[in-house]
Chain A
Amino acid sequence: MKMPNIKWFSFWKLVLYFVLAAGAYAVVYRFLLGLGPSTNLTDQFPWGIWVGFDVLCGVMLAAGGFTLTGAVHIFNIKRLHPIVRPTVLTAFLGYMLVSVALLVDLGRPYNIWHPLIMWNPHSVMFEVGWCVMCYTTVLALEFSPIVLERFNLQKPLKYIRRALIPIVIAGVIFSTLHQSSLGSVYLIVPEKLHPFWYTPLLPAFFFLSAIAVGLAMTIFESSMSAKHFGRQLELHILKDLGRALMVVLIVYSVLRVEDLIHRGVLKQVLVAGYERNLFLLEIALALVIPIMLLSFRKVRETPGGLYLASVITLLGFVTNRLNVAVTGMEASAGVRYVPRWTEVAVTAAMVGAGFAIFGMATKYLPIFPEEHAAVPVPAAQRAAAPEVVMQNAD
């Protein structure tokens, strides 16, 4: 097996090593001293960016997995097929990183398995835990053909392919449930979460935005792969995604405005304040700017324009999740929460690890179809191939 050449040192690689080292140090610090000394969390503010970013944003950013597998395998939109693999990889990685981050945040991480046997079906967290667990399994199955192909294991490959549709449907169901349920997590705090964000429609907004972010993340990740991993840019696919993204953003905007009107919150937008400012920032980044950008053909149909629109959308919905988890909870808690360096270091390391592992995977595994096709089949394997076919025929 020939290993691809890897350049170990470059500016971004050095940045990455620094970020990973700082994160590792922060994790050791956290487990030696406890959550008190290693975070700025308090009794008044028990959830910080490890929940707000690592979990809420992490799961949201991994939503491309169910969006794309659903579009291709259930809605049969064949032309999107070439980008399913990198998207499933992104999702799989995302959920792994969320799980690792959760272990850092939990006070008693060695009890993380307790929801398996200690049930409380009334708890949204219980349901999210189960769905995330099941969906990570689904992602592993959806990802497995990539690994099986790499090692030319035909038999399991055949079974996975046969079960693909039920697997994909299960994945879409689990995702629908937990993406929306992450919004339901906050339904229990009507008196604590600021009215800009507290609405009975929280689960609907979290689900819709997960689809938008899934699309934006797929555009972003395809553009990055084209830039840094030497992959061809499938512009015709990204154009379709850009158009879909615009539609989802518009639907989300309409629902959001209707909701603000019916709850009588819209007039509060005129009153200056901390929450108002961050609310406006969120609306500008997540909705107004991307919709305006995407309404121009020049933006919607060029690689640079699509990249820009997707990045701004991502920043906008990251702001949205952090507004729900942090900004909107501060007034009722009576404190301002600013993450400690350790919290930032762990979160940055998770993002860094995501990029690094994605890059590694694209080098070692047949993630991109054109690359995959270009890999010459070794003579030994070619000779063995007919035998495999004959075995299967038995």
Chain B
Amino acid sequence: MSKALLYDATLCIGCKQCEQACADKNKLPYDDKVAAETRQSEHKFTVVLAKDDKFMRRLCMNCNDPACASVCPVAALRKTPAGPVIYEASRCMGCRYCMLACPFGVPRYEWNSVNPKVQKCTMCSDRVLAGQQTACAEACPTGATKFGERSELLAEARLRLRDNPGKYVDHIYGENEVGGTSVLLLSSVSFEEFGYRTDFPTDPLPNRTFAVQSRIPDFVPLWGSMLGGIWWITHRREEVAKAEGGEKKGGAK
């Protein structure tokens, strides 16, 4: 069982209740000034973007196989079985590899702090574990953001695409991108309009690294025995030459 969010942009009215609820849940300041900000930041984990009468949310996609968690040297970022990708600040050493690795450019940094943390939406992990839905889904007055089982939400998204031909772009964003995400998006306009890249591979990004990384345990004894063997051969030759030359004088050893 893995939980997910389905955001249907055609149902969104741009009221920003989800932004407000997210700020309240994460104890972040929220006023008209913050509401006007159109970028995710260390104090704003989700934004509702507007273009003419079209809307789109941005938030952490909570990937199924997240690059951020894969690269974190201290496992401060983790994918939980319930779906959310969580961050444990006390482990973090501040290398910011997660920010570099995230294909969606989500993690934000407290650049002005001397004890900085990474900040991002963690899909209300504590609420999800307590059996509740995320704050944004609960606050949404139109059902544009819906919380549920990922498999069920996917089925519902497919149904909406099938029953409303021509209404949507024929794509469930997040179904397969970088191996699938726990946030699924439906839209009537191109996802690229709102900065979502559509050229992602469908295999999880950590696979690229693991293809190399997983060979290391085999490589070490192999390389070690080769080096030892080379040492033995090159020095044996020397001993033989010495014996043949009848030299009595000891070498470096």
Q: Which residues of A approach B to under 8 Å, CB–CB?
A: 31-37, 41-44, 46-47, 70, 73-76, 105-109, 111-112, 114-115, 118-127, 129, 165, 169, 172-173, 176-177, 184-185, 187-192, 200, 203, 329, 333
Contact = CB atoms under 8 A, between A and B. Distances in A.
A85 B72 CA distance: 36
B141 interface: no
A46 B212 CA distance: 25
Interface of B: 41-42, 67, 70-76, 91-97, 99-101, 103, 105, 107-116, 197, 199-201, 205-206, 208-213, 216, 219-220, 223-224, 227-228, 230-231, 234-235, 237-238
A36 B111 contact: yes
Contact of B111 (A42, A74, A169, A192): A42
A70 B76 CA distance: 37
6 contacts: A43-B108, A74-B227, A114-B73, A184-B213, A187-B212, A189-B101
Nearest to A165: B231
B73 A120 contact: yes
Given A125-B71, A173-B223, A73 B231 contact: yes
Nearest to A118: B74
A125 B238 contact: no
3 closest A-B pairs by CB: A107-B94, A36-B111, A76-B234
A88 B95 CA distance: 28
A169 B100 contact: no
Contacts of B103: 189, 191-192
B114 A31 contact: yes
A108 B116 contact: yes
A111 B96 CA distance: 13
Contact of A47 (B100, B228, B237): B100
A125 B74 CA distance: 9
Contacts of B212: 184, 187, 203
Counting chain A CB atoms within 10 Å of each CB, the highest count among B94, B116, B228 belongs to: B94
Contacts of A42: 111
Contacts of B105: 43-44, 333
A173 B73 contact: no
B209 A188 contact: yes
A46 B75 contact: no
A380 B247 CA distance: 34
Contacts of B95: 105-107, 125
Contacts of B75: 118-120, 123
B108 A70 contact: no
B72 to A, nearest CB: 6
A188 B111 contact: no
Given A74-B230, A107-B109, A127-B213, A188 B208 contact: yes
Contact of B94 (A108, A120, A169, A329): A108
Nearest to A174: B220
B234 A188 contact: no
A46 B96 contact: yes
Nearest to B108: A43
Nearest to B103: A191
B249 to A, nearest CB: 14
Nearest to A114: B74
Given A34-B116, A114-B91, A192-B100, 17 more contacts: A33-B114, A36-B112, A43-B108, A46-B109, A75-B234, A76-B237, A105-B95, A106-B95, A107-B94, A108-B115, A111-B92, A115-B73, A115-B93, A123-B75, A124-B213, A127-B213, A188-B208
Contacts of A76: 231, 234-235, 237-238
Contacts of A185: 97
Nearest to B178: A191
A172 B114 contact: no
A34 B113 contact: yes
A37 B110 CA distance: 11
Nearest to B220: A173
Contact of B114 (A32, A112, A329): A32
Contacts of A203: 212
Contacts of B92: 107-108, 111
B228 A35 contact: no
A74 B229 CA distance: 9
Contacts of B71: 122-125, 188
Contacts of A177: 216, 219-220
Contacts of B101: 188-189
A70 B231 CA distance: 9
B205 A190 contact: yes
A107 B213 CA distance: 26
Contact of B224 (A75, A122, A173): A173
Contacts of A109: 93-94
Nearest to B78: A120
B208 A200 contact: yes
Given A114-B93, A125-B97, A75 B74 contact: no
Contact of B210 (A34, A111, A122, A192): A122
Nearest to A110: B93
Contacts of B234: 74-76
